[in-house]
Structure 1
């Protein structure tokens, strides 16, 4: 065989080998999931689509709208612009934060924080918007905040809506190191009282700062939250477990935090379970190593695993993200 022929077949073999390697590698989402500064991501499944509803990470006075993102497989994400902005909520003027969303009766209810109120005399708090489609457009549902006062010391921000096995919906929320739970009316127009006549119950675990989330797995209630300062490198996620949504919740430990070789400030997350499977994802924000601005946060995803005792294993943050998973 001549030298040109040997060279040609060598190149052909190399190209075929590279192609085979590429085909054998799983397709992954990569982190971040989509471009832009986005934080506090709320992940949810509607039908056969994954959805993420994040805070637009910017200066408070520029946080006047929400975008959201949808994907059929966790790999390809479609952006839906300005699904809600302050022009549709007359009492909200800035600091639109941490959306939480549920579908009920063919309507989509988006809960959000606005205005970053510092006391009971300021206007703002937690509101509700409604739409006919998950991508909106959303409009103000109540014409006023659902919660606009400080109860048990909790700043009315970082709301999460939890549906219990009984069908009862609860709102779990709170900043300033206090976490409350309250019963939502069936139409989400207000709050119901508990049997003892109270409306807000404090369920704050040790170490809690903000960003609560609750889910059930194998009969246990998991309460998760963020610790540390959101602008710093040590922002992180911890959790507790109880037999009831009211606790008592005793802190178990951190499961998500920075990796100084990849990114810092990993926190304020949400959790998705694939329907019918014990397969879980954690969606969170973090800050690239190149960034020092507190608002430079990006949305990322990892798998979340449990051990044989039901404890959450520590999550390793990655650049690869997760493998492709199309919903069935």
Structure 2
């Protein structure tokens, strides 16, 4: 029998026996896109999906009707990409963060070959931009079993320390760093264990004394793509595995690469993710993924209830 974790003097995770899935409210299919990050600001919800040559936000006042904004940043705006002799680049999996009195936009520049993937950061005027690249890659040591993709920055509410999580796919390795107060410079790398079934797309959120590390498992263009999670009492572990949260069903395939947020309007927690809709078989799939949003729930002991999409 596993010993329980304790936080704030209370038994919070007895842990974490995954219960049968329970429907937690209808998922809303929003727009074509993938790898969504979400922020709430200025009375609007802002979603930042993967782009190609540019990264644009989508915004809404009600989580139902969404409008696409102008690009926050484009490949041609990034000097260290312009000067690279690699034949092709794409912008992937961004993460917008409001911290230290400003807005900071983190993104992947890939693919891994012929040059290693890298992570960049831009400083923005607000959630709708405009954004200006910092002038240099933030993480520039991809390769050798690590792919520098899928950045997520989490500011620890206890210490106000900003942590950068990144990695996946090629090697499926998770790494973490602390950032300096300017939010555009690495302070130091911190040891972190790669959790079970990790592929990519790490996301950290904090609730009631517990740190929740969630991430994608499986292959991005197959039905086995899904969301798993682990928990800890610090932002760098040690992790206690919680199991799968979000998996394919008969109608929706390959849900993953997600973010969580707490709605300031009602205090409820939501997950935003992408999925393949109305595709047969188990993959590989081609074509457009769609972004979806759905309310989630927690058990009394802190475990997240598995999510049923339909």
* TM-score normalised by structure 1 residue count: 0.78
CA distance in 1, matches of 2:55, 2:39: 16
Q: Residue 82 of structure 1: SS of its match in structure 2?
A: coil
Is 1:273 paired with 2:258?
Answer: no
Q: Secondary structure at the match of 2:80?
A: coil
| Structure 1 residues not aligned, in runs of 5+ | 1-27, 57-62, 194-198, 319-328
State the distance in 2 between where 1:218 and 1:106 align.
25
Question: Would you tell me which structure has more strand in proportion to its own residues?
Answer: 2
1:40 to 28, 32, 35: 35
- Residue 194 of structure 2: which of 204, 221, 226 is its match? 204
Query: Cα 1:240–1:182, aligned 2, differ >3 Å: closer, same or farther?
Result: same
1:139-178 matches, cutoff 5 A: 139-141=132-134, 143-150=135-142, 153-165=145-157, 166-175=159-168, 176-178=171-173
**Structure 2 unaligned blocks of 5 or more:** 1-24, 82-87
Tell me how large the CA RMSD over aligned residues is: 2.1
Partner of 1:31: 28
| Residues 140 and 148 in structure 2, CA contact (< 8 A), matched pair in contact too | yes
Query: Are the counterparts in 1 of residues 91 and 107 from structure 2 also a CA contact under 8 Å?
Result: yes
Measured in 1, the distance between the counterparts of 2:234 and 2:258 equals 22
TM-superposed CA distance for 1:71, in Å, is 1.1
Q: Residue in 2 aligned with 1:323?
A: none
Q: CA deviation at 1:297?
A: 0.7
Say if 2:57 and 2:128, in contact at 8 Å, map to a contact too. yes
SS of the residue corresponding to residue 90 of structure 2 reads coil
- Rounded to whole Å, the distance in 2 between the matches of 1:228 and 1:32 is 22
Deviating above 4 A after TM superposition, structure 1's stretches of 4 or more consecutive aligned residues are none
Larger-gyration structure (1/2): 1
> By how many angstroms is 1:81 displaced?
2.9
With the length of structure 2 as denominator, give the TM-score of the two structures. 0.82
Deviates more, 1:143-152 or 1:205-214: 143-152
The answer to whether the aligner puts 1:69 opposite 2:66 as a matched pair is no
Contact map agreement 2:270 2:295 (CA 8 A) in 1: yes
Matches within 5 A, 1:85-164: 85-92=74-81, 94-118=89-113, 122=115, 124-141=117-134, 143-150=135-142, 153-164=145-156
Give matches, 1:238-257, under 5 Å.
238-257=228-247
